[in-house]
Amino acid sequence: MKGGKLIIFSAPSGSGKTTIVQYLLKQKELNLAFSVSATSRVRRGEEIEGENYYFISTSEFIKHIKGDDFLEWEEVYRDNFYGTLKSEVERLWAKGKNVIFDIDVVGGLRIKKKFPNETLAVFVKPPSVDELKIRLKKRSTESEEKISMRIAKASVELATAPQFDKVIKNYDLDIALAEAHQLVADYVGIEKK
């Protein structure tokens, strides 16, 4: 695989990484395209096939694993697989785009390890674990049990922050967005005006 730049945003659920990535995608000068992950989990709410995720069955996901079709993959929760198809990144690189990821911590670090010179890995740090819990409850998309699983996982994920190239503290969204924009602009070589 050979192409443009890879920009990874990873964080515990509820940290604001998706909001940051969506903002960056709207900044046309950055020439970004979103890497849509594959998952075996069921669709939530208004999620759209091919836009939010490629929703595939667990058995199909396992076939892709055996076929070495993934750049990275992980069983994030029991029987809930997530991964980045090589074909997705190749498709976006063929369009001349820099590829941006909204991806879990383990997957982000795996991509960084495989492509150390092409990857900017950014960790988005939440104000606190308590704030994460509040944000996840406000979403109203998951059960208390799922939220508790995500909070337990967040403590482990927060410990990985030093392994990333940069850490953005998302205490104030406007500041976090500006910082993320500057990091990506510098990385892809956009001249300051």
| Predicted local confidence at residue 193, as pLDDT | 52
State yes or no: pLDDT of 6 exceeds 90.
yes
The model's pLDDT over 174-191, given as tens digits with 9 standing for 90+, comes to 999 999 999 999 999 886
Instruction: Give the residue-averaged pLDDT of 20-43.
Output: 95
Report the domain count for the chain: 1
Determine the structural domain holding residue 141 and report its residue range. 6-185
Tokens representing residue 107 in the block:
């997957």
State yes or no: pLDDT of 192 exceeds 70.
no
Q: Is residue 190 part of a domain?
A: no
Contacts 24+ apart (CB under 8 A), 25-30: 25/100, 27/181, 27/184, 29/185, 29/190, 30/98, 30/181, 30/184, 30/185, 30/188, 30/190
Place of tokens 């704030």: 131
- Beta strand 70-77 with 80-85 is antiparallel
Q: Is residue 78 part of a domain?
A: yes
Per-residue pLDDT band at 1 (split at 50, 70, 90) = low
Instruction: Give the residue-averaged pLDDT of 16-21.
Output: 92
The model's pLDDT over 148-174, given as tens digits with 9 standing for 90+, comes to 777 777 888 888 999 999 999 998 999
Name the 3-class secondary structure at 1: coil
**Average pLDDT across the chain, whole number:** 89
The model's pLDDT over 102-117, given as tens digits with 9 standing for 90+, comes to 988 988 999 999 989 9
Residue 85 belongs to domain with CATH number: 3.40.50.300
| Predicted local confidence at residue 2, as pLDDT | 62
C-alpha to C-alpha distance for 58 and 79, rounded to whole angstroms: 7
C-alpha to C-alpha distance for 97 and 38, rounded to whole angstroms: 20
Q: Is residue 140 part of a domain?
A: yes
Q: Is residue 172 part of a domain?
A: yes
Handedness of CA 181, 114, 18, 91 (dihedral sign): positive
| Predicted local confidence at residue 148, as pLDDT | 77
Q: Is residue 192 part of a domain?
A: no
Place of tokens 């997705």: 88
Q: Is residue 38 part of a domain?
A: yes
C-alpha to C-alpha distance for 131 and 137, rounded to whole angstroms: 10
Name the 3-class secondary structure at 99: strand
Q: Is residue 191 part of a domain?
A: no
State yes or no: pLDDT of 147 exceeds 90.
no
| Predicted local confidence at residue 25, as pLDDT | 97
Q: Is residue 157 part of a domain?
A: yes
The model's pLDDT over 37-79, given as tens digits with 9 standing for 90+, comes to 999 998 988 899 998 899 999 999 999 999 999 999 988 778 8
